């Protein structure tokens, strides 16, 4: 199991998202192939940061899986409209 930290920023004029809404958006896009076992998030006025525990063959795969889940949540959740993924960075 691998721990991957992630962070989102939001535009200053975008509404804040609650902890529960952000968790729901992330879990809604998780599939069995993502390997997500557990997610924790902390929201703030600037966005959110969190950590995901993922089953993956190595750290690089875990980072890619986390990034994919985060991007799907951003694309599919109206609550996160305008938000951006800043960590893990594209690499």
pTM of this structure: 0.91
pLDDT tops 80 at residue 42: yes
pLDDT for residue 39: 96
Average pLDDT over residues 79-85: 92
pLDDT for residue 15: 82
Evaluate the omega torsion of the peptide bond into residue 88 and state whether it is cis, within 30 degrees of 0.
yes
Q: Return the CATH number of the domain spanning residue range 2-87.
A: 3.30.70
CA proximity to 1, closest of 38, 39, 54, 65: 54
């Amino acid at each position: 199991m691998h721990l991957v930290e992630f962070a989102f920023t939001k535009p200053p004029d975008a509404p804040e998202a609650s902890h529960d809404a952000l968790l729901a958006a992330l879990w809604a896009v998780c599939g069995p192939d993502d390997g997500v076992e557990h997610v924790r998030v902390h929201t703030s006025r600037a966005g959110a940061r969190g950590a995901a525990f993922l089953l993956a063959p190595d750290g690089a795969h875990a980072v890619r899986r986390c990034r994919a889940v985060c991007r799907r949540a951003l694309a599919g959740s109206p609550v996160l409209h305008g938000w951006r993924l800043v960590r893990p960075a594209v690499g």
